[in-house]
Amino acid sequence: MAEIYGQPVARETPAVHKFGGSSLKDVTAISSVIRTIRSHVRTEDVVVVSANGGVTDQLIQVFNDGTHRLPALRESVQQLVTTVLDQPDALLVSLLEDLELLSSGLSQTTLSVHDVLAYGELWSAQLLSARLHELGIPNHWRDARDILTVDAQNNPVNPAKAVQILLDSKGEGIQILTGFLARNEAGQGITLGRNGSDYSATLVASLLRSSAVYLWTDVDGVYTADPHVIPEARRIPTLTLGEAQALSELGSHVLHHKTINPLLQHPARIIINTCDSDTLGTDVVEQSRAGEGQVKTLAHKSQLVQLTLAGIHELRTRQFQAELTAGQINQYACHYDKTRQVLQLCVEQVDFFRTSQLIRQAGLTLVQQLSGVSLISAVGHNIRQNHRVISQLLGRTARFDVLNIHYPGNDHTLCVLLADEQAEALLADLHAACFDLAPSIPIVVLGYGNIGQQFIRILKDNKASIEQRVKQSLSLVAVANSRHYQYAGECLLDEVIVPDQDNTSGEIYQRLSDYINKPLVLIDLTASEAVAARYPEFVANGWHLISANKLVAADDIRASHLEAELEKQHRRWLTNTTVGAALPIQSSLRKLIESGDQVQAVNGVFSGSLSWIFGQYDGQRPFMEWVRQAHANAYTEPDPRDDLSGQDVYRKALILARQLGFNEARVVFTPAIPDELMAGTLEQFWARSAAIDEHVAGLWKAANEQGKSLCYLASISSQEINVSLQLIDQQHPAAGLRPGDNIFVIDSAWYAGNPLVIQGPGAGREVTAAGVLNDLIEVLQSA
């Protein structure tokens, strides 16, 4: 076990740690780096540093604009040294000497841009080394130009010599190495391109056969997208080496160009994190089966220039691309058309001038250039083998002005080129499609009474769990009753729902015209004929239907026509709450039939409201008081006469009879309360309460004298549909029914002599709303 400044970490070979310029930009950042070195770096490890943040930019200004820029550079570097070091004098003397050499060399034009930019890394390495010495941490700093020699493609020359130099220094404490710097084969100092320190780190790790490379940067890992652009982006725990290489080739802010290349022959783990992080960062491993075929991240490179060169043969194309690489010009979305001899590629705006010079020097023909181009790339292991992913990505780009779809030479990437102005919108759209819940089909609720309010309450209270179940976000866009409506482009579940816009003339339907021929789920929680009459219109609009409204479902002609249109539109109509509220009566009958059983009859109590009213009534309290209480509890229809007339049960019987194919059966129907007692307006009905009480009391007394109970029953068979108020004895299946429960007794070929019984609550806003929710989930999962 080697000595470590902090906790012991077992590793087989030296690790390499790279600290970027943002991690070394000021005294606070450098203090964080020191803490990271104490806790993660061993004495034999190598630390690679970039120039302190902002210094490279200042050096570029000095080189381009002249020595009058030197005072500002001197002041900022001196300030950094004096704030970081307790004893800065020795380093300040060295720094001033460097600045004099820099001034002299620029005046005599003896320094190349590589020579000038090298000072940033040299000062950064010396500053960190000096601070570590002040803290008693053994180390020494090295100029990477004394170690690394590379060819025109930045591949190492004489790697054995470099390895020997690195290994000879192992006993001297932590090696601090300048990133970004090397020598070419002629012995000249060069730089390795923008963000070349990452390449330095992985190149050294490859030479040392390191087990791990730590890239300490300004973010705690690779994210599903740039979190500065997409705030919802989240950290990715693991990437494969192939995914990381693809990402580095796309100009990623975290994994830079060519970073991964040195590790392809000798793989090492790459851990990407930020100093003082409370996360594990992103771990780049050689292989992983996790997430295969799925998009892991979206890379975004903007301010590109797309160039088209004509009349260039294939060999010259490769030569020209090699010349760009030698000039440290990164290329993106390269495509060569052999038949037309056309090369198309993108370069960064800052590289356009030098690229243009190379094009002219090579005698090539530039036929088109397009500025302000962005490259958005989906990256994931083998995503190009997943046709669903490709279809999804291409489908999301349909409403954007895409310049080109690019397929790089690996199976892990799919790229889209488009104008900068549209790039962030497409990035957000793709991120939502790939990493968030899929956008839901818009939902509209007609009927904002007891059941409607309860249904929306359930949606609000359980939104997150429902979304995870259907793998979609919930989007309630409109709520309406016969008088008012509320409409929003966004989800109403995130608002206080107060329908207050006039709907007396059906204004809501005009608002919904935007969704014609677009998917939408319309939920009818009314008992309205006016709404039911619009069902053909809803279906013609291409909408899914969920009905608690029984009017169409109980009408064979209307229902058959609707189902035929639904089939043409490939839309669904669910009516499971029209009978039994949330009880699975319709689905159970459907499954019996589909499995080959033959249902002969269904008998029982089909009305939860009448079950509750007659179950509670004992001849003591007036009957209509129980009706009023049932109405207040939303056990009845909005007009309780729909229940007391038996029409509600009659419609349920017709719905089940239609499902079973018993449409030709004769009908015997008797209201629970005579028609003459319910004629006229609703107010007149309530005014007849005394007469209704007297009528029911007489029926109850007669039943009680015979030891029987009053029960409103329905029975369905191929011969007869019977709905009537009956006297039942204590052995009847409905005799012991809890008030409010439904019971369905199913006789079939498989259940002959021992009927299948489905029993449970058949009334109340809660159970009906729950049944509607089940229907909604079924539609969303299948849509």
Name the token pair of 36.
């990271």
Cα–Cα distance between 474 and 316 in angstroms, integer?
Answer: 55
Among 403, 386, 377, smallest CA distance to 246 is for 377
Cα–Cα distance between 370 and 617 in angstroms, integer?
Answer: 83
Angle CA(234)–CA(240)–CA(246) in degrees, nearest 5?
A: 85
Write the burial class of residue 67 (CB in 10 Å: 0-12 exposed, 13-18 middle, 19+ buried): middle
Cα–Cα distance between 758 and 587 in angstroms, integer?
Answer: 12
Tell me phi and psi for residue 18, to 5 degrees. -115, 130
Query: Which residue shows structure tokens 């999301």?
Result: 396
Angle CA(315)–CA(321)–CA(326) in degrees, nearest 5?
A: 125
Cα–Cα distance between 473 and 180 in angstroms, integer?
Answer: 46
Cα–Cα distance between 129 and 94 in angstroms, integer?
Answer: 14
Q: Determine the 3-state secondary structure of 33 from DSSP.
A: helix
Among 232, 234, 166, 240, smallest CA distance to 203 is for 166
Using only C-alpha atoms, the chain has a radius of gyration, in whole angstroms, of 39
Query: Which residue shows structure tokens 């025109």?
Result: 152
Name the token pair of 146.
């004394």
Res 714: pLDDT: 96
Q: In the beta sheet, which residues pair with residue 760?
A: 742
Cα–Cα distance between 375 and 303 in angstroms, integer?
Answer: 9
Report the greatest alpha carbon distance in the chain. Answer: 124
Name the token pair of 493.
């579940």
Cβ atoms within 10 Å, residue 251? 22
Res 12: pLDDT: 62
Name the token pair of 258.
């060519």
Alpha-carbon dihedral of residues 592, 595, 597, 600, nearest 10 degrees?
40
Res 288: pLDDT: 63
Beta strand 16-19 pairing with 212-217: parallel
Going across the sheet that includes 720-728, the strands are 666-669, 720-728, 709-717, 599-605, 741-748, 756-761
DSSP 287: -
Name the token pair of 233.
């982006």
Cβ atoms within 10 Å, residue 675? 10
Per the annotation, the verdict on 25 as an active-site residue is: no
Cα–Cα distance between 689 and 532 in angstroms, integer?
Answer: 31
Residue 472, Cα to own-chain centre: how many angstroms?
A: 9
DSSP 399: T
Amino acid at 499: P
Cα–Cα distance between 481 and 30 in angstroms, integer?
Answer: 64
Among 735, 729, 731, smallest CA distance to 605 is for 735
Res 573: pLDDT: 96
Among 547, 506, 509, 541, smallest CA distance to 526 is for 547
Domains of the chain (ranges, CATH numbers) = 16-218 (3.40.1160.10), 297-435 (3.30.2130.10), 443-580+772-782 (3.40.50.720), 585-761 (3.30.360.10)
Res 753: pLDDT: 82
Cα–Cα distance between 468 and 462 in angstroms, integer?
Answer: 10
Among 587, 679, 602, 606, smallest CA distance to 648 is for 606
- From the list 301, 652, 701, 708, the catalytic residue is 652
What is the dihedral sign for C-alpha 126, 127, 128, 130? positive
Average pLDDT for runs of 10 along the chain of length 783? 37 84 93 93 93 92 89 94 95 93 89 92 95 94 92 84 83 90 91 84 91 90 90 89 86 77 85 89 77 83 94 92 85 91 93 93 92 93 84 83 88 91 91 76 92 92 84 88 88 85 94 90 95 96 95 95 92 94 91 94 94 92 94 84 92 96 94 94 94 95 92 96 93 89 94 91 86 92 77
Cα–Cα distance between 301 and 250 in angstroms, integer?
Answer: 7
Going across the sheet that includes 16-19, the strands are 139-142, 174-178, 46-49, 16-19, 212-217, 269-274, 282-285, 238-240
Alpha-carbon dihedral of residues 311, 317, 320, 326, nearest 10 degrees?
170
Among 653, 701, 473, smallest CA distance to 554 is for 653
Cβ atoms within 10 Å, residue 168? 9
Among 169, 174, 60, 78, smallest CA distance to 123 is for 78
Beta strand 484-487 pairing with 212-217: unpaired
What's this model's pTM, rounded to 2 decimal places? 0.58
Q: What does the buried/exposed string (b/e) look like for 627-659 if buried means 16 or more CB atoms within 10 Å of the residue's CB?
A: beebbeebbbbebbbbbbbbbbbbbbbbbbbbb
Angle CA(642)–CA(646)–CA(652) in degrees, nearest 5?
A: 90
Among 383, 373, 449, 453, smallest CA distance to 416 is for 373
Residue 778, Cα to own-chain centre: how many angstroms?
A: 21
Element (H, E) at 772: helix 765-782
Name the token pair of 184.
């070419």
Name the token pair of 542.
């291409």
Q: Do 362 and 280 meet the contact criterion of CB atoms below 8 Å apart?
A: no
Going across the sheet that includes 365-379, the strands are 332-337, 342-348, 297-310, 365-379, 413-419, 402-406
